[in-house]
């Protein structure tokens, strides 16, 4: 069962409260709600970074990029879902669990690493990885996913063996995680001027039968399970309420081979959450990542559809989240220490966040919460990241790949997770680069399909 489905199952038992909280309905469709008009409730300051700021961002981005070269199979190109942060460059020997979402982030991170020279000796990388080696790795990844990875109508299993590509026991064919993989596939196609990559990437994207995952409805089923599963077939839970789902729908709208109807975009429920001075589209208590991930590739700046300016919407969501942390938990959080999103915790993986509070919030902070919102609230988020680095840089919470996934400076003794999550490092890398240069946005949006999709969804320039 996926993390999303698990939350929806809990929602069914609790009358739907949790389903709203994670941004995904329980299978029914709700009418789309109009978005609150206007800009964020409070102005966003001008970002004018110092040389020291840029140096810190460069180091965090480069170290995080290392993960996607070292913690991936050179044969399959798959990226480990998680890995220890205290390794010396070898792939983590304690796990073989890969994630197609981490692989999608990884394909994009390799574009960034190649463009910035992050894997060369100039950045202290002893192996001095060449452009040709990066191209070969991307080719291998795309070829393996096209020709060797099990799939259903072009959709992939969420978690797989990094060496064989075989799905792990009980794992679902995932709609949203296939979308993250395809975002990376299209980013690589647009960046690398390589005929093999172009051909492989195009075949992978055009093979996805998006209408199949609609399962006869107007909104996407979350997942499908094989006949060998205890619950075969499509899950009853759907991506029918605003969350990180925008990339999934836009990729499907823009498909030249298996598009979904444009009416599906309007079928998404867009509830409005009001907290303090902020009013924005969000399901109740969504983790902050739901306002970040689609923005990593799709450029929503200065654009709006019939419902919202989604970039402004995510800015408001980030401001509300910071305010929520500081007002609700003043003994734990401050302007230098805030940010909760789905991550590891002392009690395992948590899809926590707010406002309002979701999950057993305990003073833990998740670095990718601030890093993933850098493009929305750059000054405040950078302040948090630099303060975390100053406090933890001499500990094992800051190591080869930058920050570990989460840590708690309020616990006694202080707690931190010993591993990194590929998806959390991924959003960190992509959003730092978008803040610094807009490179991912510009590269991904040079593909014709995303541009066409946004037009079909009714986006216009502001």
Q: Which pLDDT score, from 0 to 100, does residue 235 have?
A: 97
**Mean pLDDT lowest for which of 39-53, 161-175, 292-306?**
39-53
Q: Which pLDDT score, from 0 to 100, does residue 32 have?
A: 45
Angle at 74 between CA 68 and CA 76, to 5 degrees: 95
pLDDT tens figures, 384-439: 999 999 999 999 999 999 999 999 999 988 999 999 999 999 999 999 999 999 99
Q: Which pLDDT score, from 0 to 100, does residue 2 have?
A: 55
Distance CA 432, CA 209 (A): 32
Q: Is the pLDDT of residue 201 over 50?
A: yes
Read off the DSSP letter of residue 80: B
| Confidence band of 4 (pLDDT split at 50, 70, 90) | low
Q: Which pLDDT score, from 0 to 100, does residue 43 have?
A: 57
Q: Is the pLDDT of residue 108 over 90?
A: yes
Q: Which pLDDT score, from 0 to 100, does residue 21 have?
A: 29
pTM of the model: 0.93
Q: Is the pLDDT of residue 36 over 50?
A: no
Q: Which pLDDT score, from 0 to 100, does residue 124 have?
A: 84
Q: Is the pLDDT of residue 14 over 50?
A: no
Distance CA 369, CA 287 (A): 9
| Rounded average pLDDT over 338-348 | 93
Distance CA 226, CA 455 (A): 35
Give the start-to-end residue ranges of the domains of the chain.
3-461
Q: Which pLDDT score, from 0 to 100, does residue 127 have?
A: 82
Residue 104: CA atoms inside 13 Å, Cβ hemisphere, count? 27
Q: Is the pLDDT of residue 37 over 90?
A: no
- 241: closest CA among 269, 213, 265? 269
Q: For the chain, what is the mean pLDDT? A: 91
Distance CA 434, CA 104 (A): 16
Distance CA 270, CA 221 (A): 17
Q: Which CATH architecture has domain 3-461?
A: Alpha/alpha barrel (1.50)
- Higher model confidence: residue 126 or residue 373? 373
- 338: closest CA among 372, 360, 373, 364? 364
pLDDT tens figures, 52-90: 999 999 999 999 999 999 999 999 999 999 999 999 999
Distance CA 44, CA 42 (A): 7
CA diameter of the chain: 57
Q: Is 46 exposed, middle or buried (0-12, 13-18, 19+ CB in 10 A)?
A: exposed
CB 99 within 8 A of CB 423: yes
Q: Which pLDDT score, from 0 to 100, does residue 250 have?
A: 99
């Amino acid at each position: 069962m996926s993390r999303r489905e698990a939350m929806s199952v809990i929602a069914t038992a609790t009358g739907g409260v949790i389903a709203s909280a994670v941004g995904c309905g329980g299978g029914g469709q709700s009418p789309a709600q109009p978005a609150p008009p206007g800009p964020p409730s409070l102005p966003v300051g001008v970002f004018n970074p110092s040389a020291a700021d840029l140096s810190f961002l460069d180091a965090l981005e480069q170290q995080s990029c290392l993960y996607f070269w070292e913690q991936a199979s050179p044969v399959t190109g798959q990226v480990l879902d998680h890995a220890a942060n205290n390794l010396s460059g070898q792939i983590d020997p304690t796990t073989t669990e890969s994630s197609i979402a981490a692989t999608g982030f990884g394909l994009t991170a390799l574009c960034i690493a190649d463009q910035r020279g992050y894997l060369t000796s100039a950045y202290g990388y002893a192996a001095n990885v060449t452009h040709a080696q990066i191209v070969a790795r991307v080719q291998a990844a795309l070829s393996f996913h096209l020709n060797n990875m099990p799939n259903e109508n072009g959709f992939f299993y969420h978690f797989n063996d990094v060496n064989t590509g075989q799905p792990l026991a009980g794992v679902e064919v995932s709609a949203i995680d296939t979308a993250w993989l395809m975002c990376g596939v299209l980013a690589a196609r647009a960046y690398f001027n390589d005929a093999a990559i172009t051909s492989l990437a195009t075949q992978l994207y055009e093979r996805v039968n998006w209408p199949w995952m609609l399962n006869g409805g107007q909104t996407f089923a979350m997942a499908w399970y094989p006949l060998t599963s205890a619950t075969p077939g499509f899950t009853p839970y759907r991506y029918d309420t605003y969350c990180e789902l925008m990339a999934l729908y836009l990729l499907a709208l823009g498909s030249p081979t298996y598009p979904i109807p444009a009416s599906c975009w309007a079928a998404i429920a867009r509830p409005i959450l009001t907290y303090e001075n902020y009013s924005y589209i969000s399901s109740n208590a969504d983790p902050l990542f739901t306002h970040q991930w689609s923005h990593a590739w799709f450029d929503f700046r200065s654009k709006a559809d019939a419902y919202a300016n989604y970039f402004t919407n995510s800015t408001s969501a980030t401001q509300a989240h910071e305010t929520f942390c500081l007002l609700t938990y003043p003994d734990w959080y401050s302007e230098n220490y805030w940010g909760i999103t789905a991550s590891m915790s002392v009690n395992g993986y948590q899809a926590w966040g707010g406002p309002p509070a979701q999950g057993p919030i305990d003073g833990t902070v998740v670095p990718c919460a601030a890093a993933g919102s850098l493009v929305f609230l750059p000054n405040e988020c950078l302040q948090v990241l630099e303060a975390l680095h100053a406090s933890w840089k001499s500990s094992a919470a800051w190591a080869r790949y930058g920050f570990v996934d989460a840590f708690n400076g309020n616990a006694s003794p202080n707690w931190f997770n010993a591993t990194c999550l590929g998806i959390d490092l991924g959003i960190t890398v992509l959003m730092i680069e978008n803040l610094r240069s807009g490179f991912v946005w510009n590269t991904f949006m040079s593909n014709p399909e995303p541009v066409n999709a946004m037009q079909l969804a009714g986006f216009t320039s502001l």
